[in-house]
Amino acid sequence: MSERFSGAVLEMYSAKPQVETHNKARIEDLFENLPVAQGVDLKNFSALVSNEDPTELREKIVNRYLDLSILRRNLGIPGNLEINNDVAIAVLDDKVFSEAVEMIKEEGNLFETAVHEIGHSAAAENIGWKTGVVTIVRGPGYLGLTSTSPKGEPSFENWAFGRAVIAYGGATAVQMLGYEARGIGSDMAHAQALARIVIQSPNSRYSTEHAFLADAERIAHAALSTHGTTGISKMAQELLHRKTIT
């Protein structure tokens, strides 16, 4: 097996199945100790089991399961990979495995985008703004989009501050889940522009851009903290599933 897998995890997943090598392996033995979802009948996939040596086939299944799991983790997709029907087919079939790898890569990109947009939405909700559409359907100039409307702000400064809080919400969410803060350049540039405008007013409660932005970031972080990483992840998974929420 690959040298990158070692220790207790390797021992748990790579234990050789007790099968006769001159017969076709029992598929239940090949998946022994792997996290097979409840209700999955492995016998349904017997046709995909080749006549190669059971030990080698077991090793391939374990390696592919671990490869898929590690890829998901590296892309920031939360939760342990359970072997459902789709995963069982993927670890048994060469073509499906290759397609699954590409699908997981795309899911990882979309999930990070979903987290970002959920951050905007959660920050808006926290300050009393309405959220219209949250989508991860890509369009010209954006990977995802969250439309919001103010609650009726009494001044430009209050409106600008709300917009800055929402802008920081996206960055805060992805950082809370351990991602690099990518794709937030336009959000931060927008917040900084608002800060520059606001501090020009002699009646502004902010004397510097830094004070304005630091306050907006603090409010955004407080908003996302009320949901926690688990709540953010669940909402992002729902958006990932539906693609667009109104």
**Predicted confidence band of residue 1 (pLDDT cuts 50, 70, 90):** very low
Choosing from 33, 59, 92, the residue where a domain stops is 92
Percent of the chain with pLDDT over 90: 48
Q: How far apart are CA 8 and CA 24, in angstroms?
A: 28
What amino acid is encoded at 68 in this protein?
A: L
Please tell me the pTM assigned to this model.
0.70
The pLDDT tens digits for 147-158 are 999 988 788 899
pLDDT digits (tens, 9 = 90+) for 46-64: 888 888 889 999 999 999 9
Q: Answer whether residue 103 is part of any domain.
A: no
Same domain, 116 and 236: yes
User: Does residue 11 sit in the same domain as residue 57?
Assistant: yes
Q: Are residues 45 and 154 in the same domain?
A: no
End residue of a domain, out of 92, 125, 150: 92
The pLDDT of residue 21 is above 70 = no
CATH (domain of 22): 1.10.8
Q: Do 84 and 135 reside in the same domain of the chain?
A: no
Q: Are both 179 and 66 inside the same structural domain?
A: no
For residue 12, pLDDT beyond 90: no
Q: Is 34 within the bounds of a domain?
A: yes
Residue 99 belongs to some domain of the structure = no
116 and 82, same structural domain?
Answer: no
Average pLDDT, the chain: 84
183-213, pLDDT tens digit by residue?
566 788 788 888 988 998 999 999 999 999 9
- Does one domain contain both 191 and 235? yes
d(CA 229, CA 234): 9
Which structural domain range is residue 171 located in?
A: 109-245
70 and 180 housed in the same domain = no
Question: Does residue 139 belong to any structural domain of this protein?
Answer: yes
Q: Are residues 113 and 78 in the same domain?
A: no
**Contact in structure between 231 and 237 (CB atoms under 8 Å):** no
For the chain, percent of residues with pLDDT exceeding 70: 87
Residues 121 and 240 in one domain: yes
* 227 and 113 within one domain: yes
Select from 92, 127, 159 the last residue of a domain.
Answer: 92
Residues 52 and 146 reside in one and the same domain: no
Instruction: Work out how many domains the chain is built from and give that number.
Output: 2
